[in-house]
Amino acid sequence: MLKDKTLDFIARMPKVELHLHLEGTIQPTTAIELMRRNCAKNAPRTVEELLKIYDFQDLSHFVRAMKIVSNHITRLEDLDRVCSEMLEECARQNTRYLEFDCALQKYIDLGMPLSDVVAVLDRAVQAAEVRYGILARMVVNLQRSHGDEKTANLVKEIARLNHPLIVGVGLSGDETQYPQKEFINTFAIAREAGLRRTVHAGEALGSQSVWDALELLHAQRIDHGTRAIEDERLVRHLVDAQIPLTQCLTSNLRLNVVSAVKRHPFALFFHSGVLVTLNTDDPQIFQTSLTGEYELAYRAFGFSEQELQRIAHNGIKASFLPEEARGHMLQRMEPIALADCEKN
């Protein structure tokens, strides 16, 4: 049987990841070690036992499962390890640029100073850039369950810190319990501070959630946005305003946002002119990779190599990098051999 040349192209193709939660990238061996060190109840001994924790039926169950593991990142050295391993894996996928979400409030609540947390992550990012040639920036993950006051205070602290690693803020969590309207104040503060803004919307709820993210929170990017397809006027607006959607096929499938990959509207968005990108969301939890997401899109929708490359380039256009930096990154998006990563 002849090898599919497009799969080889996908493996070699430089990629961009804009929707990746640090806490969803914990390597299995690291997760097991952290949980056993912290004497977690029923701490797993094997990868198979760990994967049983990630057995969920909906978004609420998923959030709980994720916390069971990620709550064991309790020290600065844990953060350094998780972040460094995340960046190494991204480099293995030939990711050239990455914007990762980090739930900073989680670590502040454990008593870690904000400046120390950001410094540790920044050192890991700089080391990875030297070692792998990967450029990474952070989007601060604002958790809906914390409410408007707590998230607003965090945004104020971030603005005061004014660290170059941080390029924006993003709102995540269960849309059904914590609607966009509850965070108008938080996002007004972020906007005033000049922070870029993205919002999880159109995942658990329909198109109105996306409209609310755009009109109430002035989001410049939408994480998921899958159910925007239900509103033709919204799709036209996304095209006209070139509002990016950071789509995650496996995540949407596992969380029952779509019933089958071929029913996912990704290809419809792409061919309609929506600025869509492919991402992993929480790769260790969903057992996927960025290369795997491109392979899935190729098999499900029959994209050509040129179209797959356009999707990757969309990631640079949808990024929170300054315009000049985007231009430089686009010049670096020429295919390279996998061996180039392995040399480092």
pLDDT digits (tens, 9 = 90+) for 172-197: 998 999 999 999 999 999 999 999 99
Residue 180 φ then ψ, to 5°:
-60, -35
CB atoms within 10 A of CB 33: 15
What is the C-alpha separation between 199 and 172, in angstroms, rounded?
Answer: 7
Whose tokens are 């709820």? That residue is 205
Ranges of the chain with pLDDT below 70:
1-3, 335-344
- How many Å is the Cα radius of gyration of the chain? 19
CA angle, corner 165, sides to 202 and 210, nearest 5?
Answer: 10
Residue 156 has a pLDDT of 98
Region for residue 27 given its phi and psi (left: phi exceeds 0; alpha: psi -120 to 50; beta: otherwise): beta
Which three-class secondary structure state does DSSP give residue 26? coil
Paired with 197 in beta bridges are 169
pLDDT of residue 43: 86
Residue 147, CB half-sphere, CA atoms under 13 Å: how many? 2
pLDDT (0 to 100) of residue 55: 82
Q: pLDDT tens, 11-49?
A: 999 999 999 999 999 999 999 999 999 888 888 899 998
| Residue 88 a catalytic site member | no
pLDDT (0 to 100) of residue 303: 97
Q: Which CATH superfamily is domain 5-335 in?
A: Metal-dependent hydrolases (3.20.20.140)
Q: What is the pLDDT of residue 14?
A: 96
C-beta of residue 169 within 8 angstroms of C-beta of residue 190: yes
- How many other C-beta atoms can be found within 10 angstroms of the C-beta atom of residue 286? 22
Number of Cβ within 10 Å of residue 84's Cβ equals 18
Residue with tokens 């501070």: 193
Residues contacting residue 146 through CB under 8 Å, at least 6 positions apart? 105, 154
**Tokens standing for residue 268:** 């419809």
Q: Is 299 helix (H, G, I), strand (E, B) or coil?
A: helix
**What does the pLDDT read at residue 3?**
63
Which pLDDT score, from 0 to 100, does residue 78 have?
96
- pLDDT on residue 246: 98
The catalytically annotated residue of 17, 99, 175, 203 is: 203
CA distances from residue 144 to 64, 149, 151, 172 in whole angstroms, order as listed: 14, 11, 8, 6
Beta strands 245-247; 221-224: pairing state: parallel
